[in-house]
Amino acid sequence: MRLRQSLLLMISSMVVTLLLVACGGEQTVPASSLRTVVATSVPPTATSAPPAATPVPPIETPRPTATPEPSATTTATPFEDYATYRPLMDEVVFLGPLYTTSATEVPVAALEHAGTMLSIMLRHRPDVVETLQAAGALTAVFGRSQSVCDLPYFSDLKGTRTCQEPGGLGGVPGRPATACSEKNVLKQPDDPFGRGTRTDGENVCAHELAHTIMNVGLTDEERLAIRKRYEAALQEGLWMGDFALENADEFFAEMSQTYFCANPEVSAFLHTHGINCAEELQAYDPSTFSLIDGIYREFADLR
């Protein structure tokens, strides 16, 4: 088993090396070469108006503790096999299963962290990665002085309240872009969600990525199982007062956050139970734990 893993790792690193060489030796693709890649591999810009993305209500609550950084995991996929549904922005990294992109004002570290996060969440679901890539999914990080609607993928929403969402937006079919904020991804001190600085802080990027995973990457059967489990949890009187009960989509996003230690450690506004990490989820709601664990297949700490 170990030998097989080592061989896979070797093959994987060889592919990564080839990929990096092809991109000029950097995981961050310079805008010039990016445009070349995009121009040759991206289908025409989507013309039909995509459905509205799933907004996340702002959550104001103080929160603590240091957060370990996720370890970098690079999933290699040839550029020519994966084209986004729309042209990428000026900065792009391919660290993880999908492109992560932003305007030049965003530190590249934010793109790398967001890419790594998704890579960890999906490390046992190459099938989901394949589906997301086939849909042209991507992750976009908006900068400190930007709003979600400054990302080209959401620019049609300008003037609506959606643009005020401080944490980001999840992707849906037709608009398979996840929006994450630089402040949250990099745990900056003024992140309104207090990630890494407050006990009730949370990783909202993981929440938005979970929306995209559910709506774009999972199978119909898995989506049905999530909806059934949401209805059952309501009937069982679990998670009362928690944002998780908003609807099945938010249930999955919140339970994904909880599974990955990305929710508040303490009872907080819209997070009434202070349940965080897979063990606590299993103890409080074993049926939901089984569902979420069956989807992701291995716990990780993404707080």
Q: Binding residues for Zn ion, per CB under 5 A?
A: 56, 250, 253
63 and 200 Cβ atoms separated by less than 8 Å: yes
Q: Identify which of residues 103 and 185 has a Cβ nearer to Zn ion in the complex.
A: 185
Closest approach, Cβ 44 to Zn ion, in A, equals: 30
Closest approach, Cβ 237 to Zn ion, in A, equals: 22
Q: How far is CA 141 from CA 46, 57, 81, 89, in A?
A: 20, 18, 23, 10
Cα–Cα dist 281/259, whole Å: 7
Rg (CA), the chain: 18
Q: Identify which of residues 53 and 89 has a Cβ nearer to Zn ion in the complex.
A: 53
Closest approach, Cβ 43 to Zn ion, in A, equals: 28
Q: Identify which of residues 246 and 301 has a Cβ nearer to Zn ion in the complex.
A: 246
Cα–Cα dist 303/300, whole Å: 9
Which residues, including other chains, have CB under 8 Å from residue 181's CB and lie 6 or more apart?
141, 142, 166, 167, 168, 191, 204, 205
Q: How far is CA 251 from CA 45, 207, 259, in A?
A: 32, 10, 12
Q: How far is CA 215 from CA 36, 151, 180, 248, 298, in A?
A: 30, 20, 17, 11, 20
Cα–Cα dist 283/273, whole Å: 12
| DSSP structure class, residue 44 | P
Q: Identify which of residues 68 and 241 has a Cβ nearer to Zn ion in the complex.
A: 241
Q: Identify which of residues 92 and 253 has a Cβ nearer to Zn ion in the complex.
A: 253
CB closest to Zn ion, residue no: 56
Which two three-digit tokens encode residue 266? 């303490």
Closest approach, Cβ 204 to Zn ion, in A, equals: 9
Strand partners, 169: 55, 179
Closest approach, Cβ 137 to Zn ion, in A, equals: 17
Q: What is the dihedral of CA 210, 214, 219, 221, to 10 degrees?
A: 110
Strand partners, 141: 102, 180
Q: Identify which of residues 85 and 243 has a Cβ nearer to Zn ion in the complex.
A: 243
209 and 137 Cβ atoms separated by less than 8 Å: no
Q: Identify which of residues 243 and 289 has a Cβ nearer to Zn ion in the complex.
A: 243
Closest approach, Cβ 250 to Zn ion, in A, equals: 5
Q: Identify which of residues 112 and 208 has a Cβ nearer to Zn ion in the complex.
A: 208
Cα–Cα dist 278/259, whole Å: 4
Closest approach, Cβ 185 to Zn ion, in A, equals: 16
